[in-house]
Each structure stands twice: as structure tokens, then as C-alpha cells.
Amino acid sequence: MKKTRPVNLDLSTIHFPLTAIASILHRISGVIVFLSTGLLLWLLGLSLASPEGFLQASKVMDNFIFKFILWGILSALAYHTFSGIRHMMMDCDLLGVTLRAGKLSAQISLLISMLFSILSGVFIW
């Protein structure tokens, strides 16, 4: 059997729908949250170890680069949380199974996570 299906390897010509982008971002944010847990636990352990450790953790958190990293972690956590709520509502059939409902819920979860990202940036700085 000869397969003559066209193969498109140029990723710049592929246009993903919003629902696919939201799903891919949910997976990426989950990986970011998982990997950043170690950093946050290390910082918590350092701050609870001794008064000197607390001062050292405070010094680390005053660094601009660490504040930027922390903002990224909180933004990923916010997106992952709201997108996860969206996925659970879809699984429980609370949003409907239409394409319109999927697009609307993806837009709403992106908007809410952007607002929380802005608020977390204001809180950090």
C-alpha cells in the first residue's frame, strides 16, 4: 500500500485554534509549576532554618532577577489553576461540548490568568 499523504513540516504555516493553544499552555505551565516547586521549597527551608537563613532568604528575594522568576512562577501557577478549573468544568459537562463554549472558556481563563499575573507583579514589586 502506497501512502501519498502530504507532509507539512513547516510549523510556521500551521495555525492552531485558541482551544489547542490553551491546552498546550496548560501543559507547559504544569511543567513550570512542577519544576519550580523545588526552588520554592528550598527557599522556604532556608527561611525556616535559622534567623540567619531568614535574612539570607530575604536577601535572595530582594534580587530583581529572582523577583522576575517568582513572577513567572506565580503567573504559571495562576494560568495552570484557572485552566485546570476550566478543564474540570468541561469534564463534568458544566460548560457544554460545543466549539463556541470551548473558545469562550479558553478566552475567559486566559483573561483571568492575565489579571492575576498583573496583580502578582504588583504584589511582588
What's the rounded Cα separation, in Å, for the pair 111 and 101? Answer: 15
Does the annotation place 87 within a ligand binding site?
no
* Helices of type H across 5-98: 18-49, 51-61, 64-91
Q: 54, 47 in Cβ contact below 8 A? A: yes
What's the rounded Cα separation, in Å, for the pair 35 and 77? Answer: 11
Residue ranges for the known binding site for heme are: 80
Residues of the binding site? 80
